[in-house]
A and B are shown apart, each in its own frame.
Chain A
Amino acid sequence: MTVKRQNGRAFALSFRLAWRNIWRQKRRTWLTALAMIFSNVLLVFMISLQFGSYEMMINNTLGLLSGQVQVQRAGYLEEQKMRQVVDNVDELASNIRKRFPEASVAARASAFVLVSSAERSFATQVMGVEPAHEPGVSSIPGLVAQGRYLIAPDAAEIVIGRVMARNLKVIVGDELTFLGSGRDSSIAAGVVRVVGIFDSGSQDLDRSLAELPLGYFQDIFMMHDGGHTIALAFDKLSAVPEVIEPLSVVIGEQNDLVVLDWEALVPGLKQAIQADMTSAWFMYGVLIILVAFSVLNTQLMSVLERTREFGVIMALGIKPRRLALLVLLETFLMAALGFLIGVLLGSLVTGYFSQVGFAYPGMDEMAAKFNMSALMYPAMDPFSLMLGPSVVFVFCLFAAIYPTLKLYGLRPVEAMRAV
């Protein structure tokens, strides 16, 4: 008989022994398991909700304007100079569209101008957009509250934000004039009709962004066929890392173009999420340590009350290592019980709320302010379901180390005399 098979058999008996042992104190085992189950359910739900809210935060932020990936001239993100142009932007955009049929792709150009109504003038950013493609990467076209969004690719029309409309004292149908400088530093000026007013929920955007058709923009600002950025949006954020490389290949020929992902485009977003995660993990950490201590207590008691029995087993010639393994196995079984039931219940609870949505008390107000849905949807994926319970599991096994060490100090004769 091979050593391996012997070990296998001995393990089977250890397993049976461990299983029966944990049920010697039914109530205590269930109480410990319940602590694990409770914290696991809580962790599964909280972590899924947390990831869900990050996803929502990212989607809302990126979906408003920036998109998930942009192609632009190197340095444009920092300086935004008129001269940092993507040549042949329409053609490049349609090449990208062909290469990534699943993505929404929109070319843009942008300039800073002085915009004037009959009564007032303000400095603002105007963006040339492709009316047919812009709705795929930005939610602003869908947030037009009065009038309509742009339709024709080169009409002299403009869509402005709610705050800007108020500041300029204009309504849909009024005319605006703007004055800026073109790509060649010549004076660029035009007269456009306000066809729509959007309400993005962001005061900043509503005050300082206006959109024109890209063709018209290119004419006025002497861009020829150039633009400044191409914005891309995919169904899933997780698609982004995989497209960077092939996207670079598509734009390869043009000099000095770069591909920027959302972390580069909106650097504050990831940091905000990380800061939130840190504070959340601190809370979870406290919960997990409490559970680990309850396991430590249970296993310590269970080892101490079996001193006599362990003494006998050692007197028969069984080494402490095997007993330590037994106690670890008992902890493993108990932790597995807490893990399985916890993940199961946690998944049910999380699954329910991922369907109907979950609202924090008082969240409606906040949500309205930030243009977010009042309901949060937990993200149900294996990672968010398993993460918390796995850490609890590992910590519980660690908590059993101290009780098992007690076994190594046991002396059979004294142990057998113990009550």
Chain B
Amino acid sequence: MSAVICTDLCKYYQQGDAVIKGLDHVSLEIEQGAFICLSGPSGSGKTTLLNAIGGLDSLDSGEISIDGERVDLLGKSALADLRLKRIGFVFQAYNLIPVLSALENVEFVMLVQGVSAVERKQRSYNILREVGLEGMEDRRPDQLSGGQQQRVAVARAIVSQPRLVLADEPTANLDSQSMEKLMTLFCELNRMHKITFLIASHDQRVIAWAGRSIGMEDGRVIRDEVQQVC
């Protein structure tokens, strides 16, 4: 079954007299367990697409299904549940909760999901170690560098092993080594747990990791190709 099916998505922004095409008739089918990189110039609609799939933003037209369920028809509360239980988000601006430590930020979602304390702690420590933040668990976001904050945000998104990870520029602030490490982790999760990854990035190194590369421009899909990886 397809993990995500987008059919003819349109999202327009009125800017004075001009109409900006955030999404312009985008259709897309994503297999369960796919590892996809979404690339394209700034302003091409990558974030808009991720937000639409995650049910964060409304559409002007089009249909989106996740695991066979029409998410564009869901109410606010059902969308919240969908995000909480099945989707891991990494936002472009990493957006951590400033008063919580790195560990607590990672724990937060699991806690609302009702994961037991012992398991929560263990999983949070493990994932932070895997993204290279061992020893920084108790630091607050303002005591972490941009790249470190970004990795906490990634850890937060993948720690509860959602069915689908939507990551918006997860490597923008990372050096090559950290980037490699993170992508290896993503690949592992993708292979072992069949987690679907949709990563927005214009970093060529990231694109190289993906099994499928989708290119966008002016709100349209202009390229969609399967490639040899890893």
Contacts and interface: CB of A to CB of B under 8 A. Distances in A.
A322 B114 CA distance: 14
B114 A6 contact: yes
A312 interface: yes
Given A13-B108, A317-B81, A312 B117 contact: no
A9 B117 CA distance: 8
B83 A316 contact: yes
A312 B91 contact: yes
A17 to B, nearest CB: 7
A10 B150 CA distance: 25
B82 interface: yes
A20 B99 CA distance: 6
Interface stretch (B24-32, B51-59, B176-184): B51-59
Contacts of B95: 308-309, 312, 315, 416
Interface of B: 51, 54, 56-57, 77, 80-85, 87, 89, 91, 93, 95-100, 104, 107-109, 111-112, 114, 116-117, 156
Given A309-B97, A412-B56, A413-B51, A317 B114 contact: no
Contact of B89 (A17, A21, A316): A316
A309 B98 contact: yes
A151 interface: no
A13 to B, nearest CB: 5
Q: Assign chain A's interface to a size class.
A: 20 to 34
B217 to A, nearest CB: 22
A27 interface: no
B56 A413 contact: yes
Interface string A2-39: 01001001100100110011001000000000000000
Contacts, number: 67
B91 A416 contact: yes
B103 to A, nearest CB: 12
A316 B79 CA distance: 10
Contacts of B98: 24, 309
25 contacts: A16-B104, A17-B99, A17-B100, A24-B98, A24-B99, A308-B95, A309-B97, A312-B91, A312-B95, A312-B97, A313-B97, A314-B80, A315-B95, A317-B81, A317-B83, A317-B84, A317-B112, A318-B80, A318-B84, A412-B56, A413-B51, A413-B56, A416-B91, A416-B93, A416-B95
A317 B85 contact: yes
Contacts of A1: 114, 116
Contacts of B114: 1, 3, 6, 10
A319 interface: yes
Contacts of A416: 91, 93, 95
Given A308-B95, A317-B84, A413-B56, 10 more contacts: A1-B114, A1-B116, A6-B114, A10-B112, A16-B104, A17-B99, A309-B98, A315-B89, A316-B108, A317-B109
A136 B87 CA distance: 82
Nearest to A415: B56
Contact of B112 (A315, A318, A412, A413): A318
A237 B187 CA distance: 81
Given A21-B99, A413-B51, A13 B111 contact: yes
A315 B97 contact: no
B77 A319 contact: yes
B108 A315 contact: no
Contacts of A322: 112
Contact of A316 (B77, B99, B107, B109): B109
A353 to B, nearest CB: 42
A411 to B, nearest CB: 8
Nearest to B157: A316
Nearest to B83: A317
B123 to A, nearest CB: 15
A319 B80 contact: yes
A312 B149 CA distance: 14
A317 B97 contact: no
Contacts of B81: 317
A314 B84 CA distance: 9
Contacts of B85: 317
A96 to B, nearest CB: 67
A315 B111 CA distance: 16
